[in-house]
Structure 1
Amino acid sequence: MKQIFTHTLGLLLAVTLVATEANAQQFTKRKQYNSVGITLNAMNYFGDIVPKASFASFRVAASRPNVGINVTRRFAPRLSGRASFAYGRITAEDSKAADQNDPDARYRYNRNMNVRNDIFELSAVGVFDLIENRNNYLKRPDFVPYVFAGVAVFHHAPKGLVEGGNTGGLTTGSYIDLQPLQTEGVSYSKTQISIPFGGGVRYKLNKSFDIGLEIGWRKTFTDYLDDVSKNYIERSRLVTPAAQYFGHDNVRNTTDFTNFNEPGQMRGKGNEKDWYIVTGLTLNYILAPRVKSPKFR
């Protein structure tokens, strides 16, 4: 997957640079324009709390809303720049994602982890249209497929639900902020960088509005979107009731595994970073550029 991502991003950037150089001289400023838009999406994630231990595995029922706003600038016949701000939520539960009758998933079912994570994202991407428009916005194509890639900064805050059992006095049904607990003895930042990339199609509704369908992946550089990464640690290092509950005591009572949550035992895969994915609709309004009349003396 890493090789596919690297090759796709490299190809996109190379094509974008070539297209920009070739078209910049032929696309006058009078044909450039701006647009503003809103997005309504579904949000999912790939990480340690999924049905299968694979990148393509996610639980559709765990999808949550994502909303955003964006500003786009058309620079060339195929190239635009887009800045966006979005908010969304990802959720995951071992009890629902992992099948206890599946030998490959029983471990995750018994681990019994859950997470809810609210994510705020600010991104800047380059958008490359597969169909060019050398005219002004009024004569833009009716249907345009496109690809995009860029960079984003996001703030996340994973929280866990107290479900019962040996809660150590915690209120059942409450959500606890997981990052300060250091459930694996690791301190990680809530502010992170990601690489957004993907593609979509855009349809011209009328002279002022476009509607689009888009799917975008976010390659992150953290394995803690779900607060699960590596191994269990000594219970004595978990100094609060909340840390002891989420870092040690919330496993299921089972005879399937010996010393299931003992120090050094596997808690997460630990060899892959987490991803999140955004899929949905965009409605863009084109800000008609002002046309300056020539001055005569």
Structure 2
Amino acid sequence: MSRKHLLSLALILTFVHQLALGQGRSKFGGRYTDPFGVLSVTAGVGVAYYMGDLNDGVNLKHLGLGPSISLGALYRLTEHVSARGELRFYQVSADQKYSKNYQNNLSFKTFNPDINLGLQADLFAFNRHAPINPYLFGGIGVTHLNPKAKFEGTWYSLAPLTTEGVKYKRMPLVFTAGIGASIKTTERLSLGLELCNNFVNSDYLDDVSTVYPNPDQLPSDIARLLSDRSWEIGEPLRQPGWNRGSAKSKDSYLFLQVRATYLIGNRAQNKERKKTRCPKF
């Protein structure tokens, strides 16, 4: 992670920590529920956007957006803070023919899972039952890298081909930070919108990072063909050591999702609901 990314994550976690310290067990009117242990399940669907070596800024005509979905849970720790865990799937892609480095002619597409754990800090306390509740969150997890490229109608997995002569880790850490807002629609269901950035501790989400290798050291003909694709558009082959990417900053992917949160509650709340449903005469 870059210094900027570490600072962003540190600020979010500091905010979470301060809320945890500052919250009390004060009541906000109505029946008070002990927030600890209250469980909610979550689901999200939206788009994913890639940031890395194969794009050089936002191109509105060729964003390379893909789908993102998530399933998870929130376990409430305090009035403001919840532990958060999710399993997510996302697809991103990019093609250099739409960038300033079009002459390299590299491209990729990937569909990856990731899993992460972290903390979510709500602006308003649980027992306040605010109709709109903004929040911040941060966490850490892992993702599985599986970049692919299409050649003559066939998709090839790039990692086993070592197109830069490097065997990189395919399950790097991912540091997550984001912001969202939930809108209470019923007593137990909330809907909302969430923006999340995911900083990969790897520069190989797109299979591109450093320089062109010596083609004689690559394991196969298809590896050589997909390592340097400039010849496909009439450009001369790149010399070993020429820049193929840039390792100065690592890759990341962004999620924008519509979210649903369903409150399951804790044991005490479930007992209360049963009493309400089954009154004694």
Q: Could you tell me the TM-score, scaled by structure 1's length?
A: 0.82
Equivalence for 1:101: none
**Match among 49, 55, 60 for residue 54 of structure 2:** 49
1:74 is displaced (CA, Å) by 1.7
1:248 is displaced (CA, Å) by 2.5
Query: How is 1:1-297 mapped onto 2 (pairs within 5 angstroms)?
Result: 2-23=2-23, 30-32=34-36, 33-50=38-55, 52=56, 61-95=63-97, 97-98=98-99, 105=100, 108-133=101-126, 135=127, 140-162=129-151, 172-254=152-234, 260-291=237-268
Distance 1:271 1:202 in 2: 36
Distance 1:83 1:141 in 2: 23
Distance 1:129 1:118 in 2: 31
Distance 1:219 1:59, change over 3 A: farther
Distance 1:250 1:240, change over 3 A: farther
Distance 1:73 1:237, change over 3 A: same
Distance 1:209 1:181 in 2: 47
Deviates most, 30-39 or 179-188: 30-39
1:241 is displaced (CA, Å) by 1.6
Gaps of 5+ in 2: 273-281
Equivalence for 1:169: none
Equivalent position amino acid for 2:65 in 1 = S
Deviation string for 1:256-294 (max 9, x for gaps)?
Answer: xxx65111111112211001111111111110333268x
Distance 1:86 1:276, change over 3 A: same
**Where in structure 1 do 4 or more consecutive aligned residues deviate above 6 Å?**
56-59
1:190 is displaced (CA, Å) by 1.1
Distance 1:285 1:69 in 2: 12
Q: Secondary structure at the match of 1:121?
A: strand
Gaps of 5+ in 1: 99-104, 163-171
Give the count of matched residue pairs.
265
Distance 1:126 1:58, change over 3 A: farther
Distance 1:219 1:202, change over 3 A: same
Q: Secondary structure at the match of 2:103?
A: helix
1:66 is displaced (CA, Å) by 1.1
Calculate percent identity across the aligned residue pairs: 23
Distance 1:37 1:68 in 2: 8
Deviation string for 1:40-85 (max 9, x for gaps)?
Answer: 02011100111x2x5x678754111111101101221211111100
Equivalent position amino acid for 2:120 in 1 = V
Equivalent position amino acid for 2:134 in 1 = P
Distance 1:147 1:57 in 2: 28
Distance 1:251 1:130 in 2: 55
Q: Secondary structure at the match of 2:241?
A: coil
CA contact (8 A) 1:44 1:58 kept: no
CA contact (8 A) 1:110 1:252 kept: no
Equivalence for 1:167: none
CA contact (8 A) 1:111 1:252 kept: no
Distance 1:145 1:285 in 2: 16
Please tell me the root mean square deviation across aligned C-alpha atoms, in Å.
Answer: 2.3
1:6 is displaced (CA, Å) by 2.6
Distance 2:93 2:5 in 1: 24
